[in-house]
Chains A and B, each alone.
Chain A
Amino acid sequence: MPIIHEPQPETKINLSENGPILEVQNLHFSYPDGHKALNGITLQLQEGHKAALVGPNGSGKSTLMLNIIGILHGSGVRKINGMAITEDNLPLIRSQVGIVFQNPDDQLFSPTVFEDVAFGPLHMGCSEDETRQRVIEALAMVNMSEYINRLSYHLSMGEKKRVAIATVLSMKPDLIILDEPSAGLDPRARRSLINLMNELPQTLLVATHDLLLVREILPRTIILDEGLVVADAATEEILKNTHLLENHGLELPV
């Protein structure tokens, strides 16, 4: 059956074509119980960058990611496509930044794969036809087209991770954040996931402990420790610096 593409209305504001997709300046954040998780984070991501976010547990990676999508609100500058994150423009921000959480069972909360991938576009205001179209495209991008009517709880970990990525792809964000994507995957599923991430056209920020993955597909590495950016450079340089890695609880597998 032929699929008819409808012209998409412009929903995004690109204030500057050459500006960074993500801009964070001097971001501080403390949890209600007093724990200060971010101590002045500054970083920038240009369009098309694929960057790794590494650091020991407790370094603030999750807190930073939740700040970037506006679930947590620290003090400091946070801009997506030149637009500052405020309480009012959160829905717009979330149409431009997608996050794939670590545990796919938290991300796949609908009974069927179709409904999960449709959730984002539907809540963005897409029509029923537009939504269906996006679901089909997103599942095709992650090679899970035949799973469209499957029940989410039946899937394997690797399959769930792919569908979780599809749930974000269907929203067509500019920036995708992934939290420990390769955790818990067997070698085959991991390989297939790495290949998939390599093919994604979006700007990526990947929080991970998997330094082999970083070396393979992420040209830039940002090291976070105790709420601060301690290094931000080309992956090659950083991974050669064993002293730096050790200091921040990292180890490159041989």
Chain B
Amino acid sequence: MFKETTFNVYQASQSIIHKLDPRVKILGAVGIILSNVLLPDGAWLAFGISFIALVIMVLLAGIAVSFVLKRSLVALPFVLVAITILFTLPGEPLVSFNIFSWHLTITDAGLLRFTSILVRAWISVQAAIILTATTRFPDIGHGLRHLKIPLVLIAILSFMYRYLFVLSEEATRLIQARAARSASLPDSPKPPVRWQAKNAGNMVGQLFLRSYERSDRVYNAMVARGFQGQFLTLTPHTMVSADWFGLAIILSMLSLIQIIGHFF
């Protein structure tokens, strides 16, 4: 179900990380993720340094470690997709065991590959979490604009962000209204899936029409304030010394990590 707090990915604070230009933070997060993917399997020293760098950032930003850890679990389900590589990549067998009627053997190559994937994914998702925890979404939008992402895309994302809460609330109300009318007596049969799907489809259709008509009203409000088709915006961020230093540090770190990862 939906709660207002699910949108609270941003943790307000006055740390130096928070004050960094959003461009720097976006490039930093993408940089770490890219660096991870470019490191070969088993580059434990390099992965370790990346991780420590993130920990330092979390501490500097004043975010609770538990917050980051809890949100990093979002990548967990996909681990199941990768887990079979433990057994199927050819290599030296390490340990065997039996589950039901299957005889499974974990190979060294498989273990290396699996744990590398895991570490990469975990570090990457944490970098992204730190980005959103220290940068409000409108500022991420401005940062992307500075980085030359087309304004049309940013504008659409801004509108989407603005109305995410409103429409999600409407969807929740529809779901609650349905729940309130979904009584059932102990022995009565459950309604068929087709009927349930039809109700759900009606709700989706209802939400669609409300949203469509709302967009007409929003358009009128824009037009009433002078909108003529050309979307204008202010970009209030300028790079200061701290931001350039930040970039220099990030690039140096990532190069160091790459060198260590490939040669040691």
Contacts and interface: CB of A to CB of B under 8 A. Distances in A.
Contact of B226 (A94, A105, A153): A94
A120 B162 CA distance: 18
Interface in A102-161: 103, 105-112, 115, 118-120, 122-124, 128, 131, 151-153
A94 to B, nearest CB: 5
A242 to B, nearest CB: 35
Contact of A99 (B164, B214, B224, B228): B224
B224 A71 contact: yes
Contacts of A103: 217
B167 to A, nearest CB: 10
A106 B234 contact: no
A29 to B, nearest CB: 15
Contact of B225 (A94, A105, A128): A94
B245 interface: no
Contacts, number: 78
Given A109-B162, A109-B221, A153-B165, 4 more contacts: A91-B228, A109-B163, A119-B226, A122-B232
B220 interface: yes
Interface string B203-243: 00000000000100110111111111000111000000000
Contact of B138 (A120, A151, A168, A171): A151
A115 B158 CA distance: 11
Nearest to B217: A106
B234 A131 contact: yes
Nearest to A97: B224
Given A101-B217, A111-B158, A94 B138 contact: no
Nearest to A171: B225
B97 to A, nearest CB: 52
15 contacts: A71-B223, A71-B224, A94-B226, A101-B224, A103-B217, A106-B221, A115-B138, A115-B234, A119-B227, A120-B225, A120-B226, A122-B232, A122-B234, A151-B136, A168-B225
A69 interface: yes
Given A106-B218, A111-B137, A94 B224 contact: yes
Contacts of B136: 151
A198 B239 CA distance: 44
